[in-house]
Structure 1
Amino acid sequence: MSAPTNTLQTYQAVGNREDLTDVIYRISPTDVPFMSGIGKNKAKSTLHEWQTQDLAAAGNNAQVEGDDATADATTPTVRLNNRTQISRKTVIVSGTQDDGMDPAGRKQELAYQISLKGLELKRDMEFALTQNTTAVTGSSTVARQLRGLEGWVATNNDLGAGGAAPNYGTNTAPTDGTQRAFTESQLKNIIQLSWAQGGKPNVVMLGGTQKQTFSTFQGNSTRFDKGEDRNLTAAIDVYESDFGAIKAVPNRFQRARTAFVLELGRWKVSYLRPMRTTPLAKTGDAEKRMLICEYTLEAGQEKSGGAIRDLL
């Protein structure tokens, strides 16, 4: 059927108001599990330094009765450092858009854009804290760069063929090896190596594909599902190892080919300048804001955990 002759329809009408909801849908992930899960500290220079201490190796300590005491060898501290990195985002909004218009889904354009840039800056920081492989001193033309997890986890590594662990003492990046499947034996190996060094790893941080593989690990358990509830549990979030429980934490911003086994309490993000919003000079009919942060990664004791590298 067709409408009667001369029926005014929406196709011909002029002046109908637009139907624009007051909701803005966003799907881009903003969770930053590594930065959120570790401690915070204060840096006081662009070269942030700290010390670590090892004990002498344990041995059979048997002494002769009545013997004179002699001085034992001392184990000096190790002085480590990392460079601070500056990360920033900038917003410029015209006066007309900020003060004159009535945008849907937000009250004020400048405030909305600042909030978005804040989320983006956190994502960039998580990327640097997990993926950076070497520290860069920087110059008047080269930006300073912090060394992230990829370059810090040096002692306990499970590598693919041809792969090499990083050396933070010489500021040498890891070498990629042949990629291979993620297995439970690799995880157990790194947990055991970390425990032998004195660590108590409590988190395995990994990409989405490796998280799905992790959920297939059996350990020493048998799975049961109640058929009548029609629910199937396919995920494992906590792995009960011989040396304690390990929580699986997926991270979208780390390198997908690496699974980090970490004692989170040994790591800190140290801020020389915490994240702040700074007004920029007004040069015309626009408002300018800069979000800036200067920070670095402090590795309290990298041998408390390890890395399974070169994963498919």
Structure 2
Amino acid sequence: MAFTGKATYGAGSDLPELVEDVSDVIGIVSPFETPLLNHLGDPKRAAQSTVHEWVEDQLLANADAINQTTFTPGPTTATSITVDNGSRFQVGDLVQPDGSGEVIFVAAISGDTLSVIRGYGATTAVALADNMVLNILGNAALEGDDAPAARFTSRTRKQNFTQIFTAAVEVSGSMQASRAYGVEDEVDYQKQERMRELLRDLENCVINGVAPTTNQIGSSSVRRSMDGIIPMIETNDFAPGQGGLPSGGGTNSDELTEELLNAALRLVWDQSGGSIDTIVVGGAQKRKINEFASASRQYLPEDTAYRDMISVYESDFGVCRIVLSRWTPPDTLLLLDSSRLEVMPLQGRSFHFKPLAASGDAFKGQVIGEYTLEMKNENAHAKLQGLAV
């Protein structure tokens, strides 16, 4: 028998007799996390100007390369060698061709030409070649000799620019006074939403941002922006199968492999005193890193959870925390020394809410902050691009 009594649906399809049931929790689906900023932490100091500068220095080079194609009388017996930078050598230097056991003694220097003694100390002479690297082992000074001529390096200034991040907040008086689902204070809610968006944008610019090519300090018509990590890395700009790196995996030899990652770490270690401790990747390359250990995983019969994630990668060249950031380009992997990175606000300009004068029946203000990236010694970091996605 059909029900004929009072029911919830009796008054109409819009249920006019019932209190609306709306959850007090507002679901936000848009991504707003900032894993790289969280990993780097708060800066030790603030920037003092819209042009932020820092000073870098380096030790005297202890390697150079041969710059000649013919050798007299031959590659294994030549005693006159032309190099790229003769100023890097001193009389008395012990030099070793890269990858060999021969030691060469520098007897005299004229410009970029070295007069040498081959096979010093009964070592076996090897065939020299153009662009072969010569490693300077050290200098053998004469007992009682005068001090050698002073040599030194010149410090250099590096710079980046601050970038203003801002978003407006405006709520009508009626909206602020009304009761809303899941929100106690509409102005505060809008502040939080805009803050999340600006933090998201800050991390994105820290990774991908680019400063203008002209008028970088900004003007009334030129917006000032900062360089991010990717454009600031110039020395160690790697790609699979190029610049001394092995080819990657896959059909096109461009997939990330452990061999490729280790080779990139080694190249950074070879030419800088940096210590890579952070690997920043997007989702595609994070899955490739997770696959490094897939073949060697073992499970017991009582195991009920399957774990397929690598959060820390330890190699001969350092222990690296893997940071998954959705703002990293999908074909890119960043190798960073976090001790040389700081995301800093302009003094007194960290993110804050600034109330604005009311005009009409509304609450107005803006969330604003001004930040820059300090990346010391760009050759202590690396980027590996062109990876298969």
1:147 alignment partner AA: D
Contact 1:225 1:233 in 2 (8 A): no
Matches within 5 A, 1:52-91: 52-58=56-62, 59=136, 60-91=138-169
- 1:290-309 counterparts in 2 under 5 A? 290-309=366-385
Partner of 2:186: 109
Q: How far off is 1:204 after superposition?
A: 0.6
1:284 equivalent in alignment to 2:288? no
What amino acid is the match of 1:302? E
Q: Which runs of 4+ in 1 moved over 6 A?
A: none
1:94 is displaced (CA, Å) by: 0.5
SS at match of 1:240: strand
In terms of mean alpha carbon deviation, does 298-307 or 105-114 score higher? Answer: 298-307
Distance across 2 between alignment mates of 1:187 and 1:162 = 13
Q: Deviations over 1:252-274 (max 9, x none)?
A: 12222211011111101121121
Q: CA deviation at 1:230?
A: 2.4
- The one-letter code sitting in structure 2 at the alignment partner of 1:213 is K
Change (3 A) 1:237 1:44: same
Moved more, 119-128 or 181-190: 181-190
Q: Secondary structure at the match of 1:274?
A: coil
Structure 1 unmatched runs, 5+: 164-177
Q: 1:179 to 1:49 in 2, by over 3 A?
A: farther
2:204 aligned with 1:200, yes or no?
Answer: no
CA distance in 1, matches of 2:344, 2:8: 64
Work out the CA distance in 2 between the residues paired with 1:227 and 1:27: 38
SS at match of 1:245: strand
Q: Output one character per residue of 1:54-81: Cα deviation in whole Å (capped at 9) or x when no partner.
A: 0112431210110101332111111100
Aligned equivalents of 1:277 and 1:87: distance in 2?
12
Residue in structure 1 matched with residue 174 of structure 2 by the alignment: 96
Q: Is the 8 A contact 1:204 1:249 kept in 2?
A: yes
- Shift, 1:104, TM fit: 1.5
Cα deviation, residue 211, structure 1: 0.4
Write the distance in 1 (CA, Å) between the matches of 2:235 and 2:2: 78
Relative to structure 1, the CA distance from residue 161 to residue 98 in structure 2 (aligned partners, 3 Å threshold; closer, same or farther) is: farther
Matched, 1:48 2:47: no
Where does residue 10 of structure 1 map in the other structure? 9
RMSD: 2.3
Gaps of 5+ in 2: 63-135, 244-251
Q: Determine if contact 2:340/2:375 at 8 Å carries over to the other structure.
A: yes
Q: What secondary structure sits across from 1:195 in the alignment? A: helix
What is the one-letter code of the residue matched to 2:53?
E
Task: Report the secondary structure of 2:30's partner residue.
Answer: coil
TM-score (ref. length: structure 2): 0.71
**1:146-165 residue pairs with structure 2 within 5 A?**
146-159=226-239
In 2, Cα distance between equivalents of 1:113 and 1:23:
15
Deviations 1:160-184 (A, max 9, x none): 6899xxxxxxxxxxxxxx9932222
Contact 1:259 1:307 in 2 (8 A): yes
CA contact (8 A) 2:47 2:345 kept: yes
Q: Which amino acid aligns with 2:154?
A: P
Q: Verify the 8 A CA contact 1:127 1:253 in the aligned structure 2.
A: yes
Aligned to 1:214: 289
Contact 2:357 2:364 in 1 (8 A): yes
1:256 to 330, 337, 343: 330
- Secondary structure (helix, strand or coil) at the match of 1:112 reads helix
Change in Cα spacing, 1:29 to 1:179, as seen in structure 2 (3 Å) is: farther
Question: What residue number does 1:167 align with?
Answer: none
2:22 alignment partner in structure 1: 20
What SS class does the counterpart of residue 363 from structure 2 fall into? strand
SS at match of 1:252: coil
Aligned-partner Cα distance in 2 for 1:161–1:279: 55
CA distance in 2, matches of 1:50, 1:102: 51
Take 2:36 and 2:378, find their aligned partners in 1: how far apart are those partners?
Answer: 15
- Residues paired across the two proteins, number: 295
- Does residue 225 (structure 1) correspond to residue 299 (structure 2)? The answer is yes
- Aligned-residue offset at 1:133: 3.6
Which one has more relative contact order, counting CA pairs under 8 Å at least 6 apart?
1
Identity of aligned residues (%): 34
Letter in 1 for 2:316: D
Distance between the aligned counterparts of 1:225 and 1:135, measured in 2?
Answer: 53
Deviations 1:275-294 (A, max 9, x none): 11101121111111101111
Q: 2:161, 2:211 within 8 Å by CA — same for their partners in 1?
A: no
Instruction: Give yes or no for contact 2:211–2:224 (8 Å, CA) kept in 1.
Output: no
1:34 aligns with 2:36: yes
Report what 1:267 is aligned to: 341
The structure with more radius of gyration: 2
SS in 1 for 2:198: helix
CA distance in 1, matches of 2:212, 2:269: 28
| Equivalent pair of 2:313/2:321 in contact (CA under 8 Å) | yes
Q: Secondary structure at the match of 1:17?
A: coil
Kept after mapping to 2: 8 A contact 1:82/1:135: no
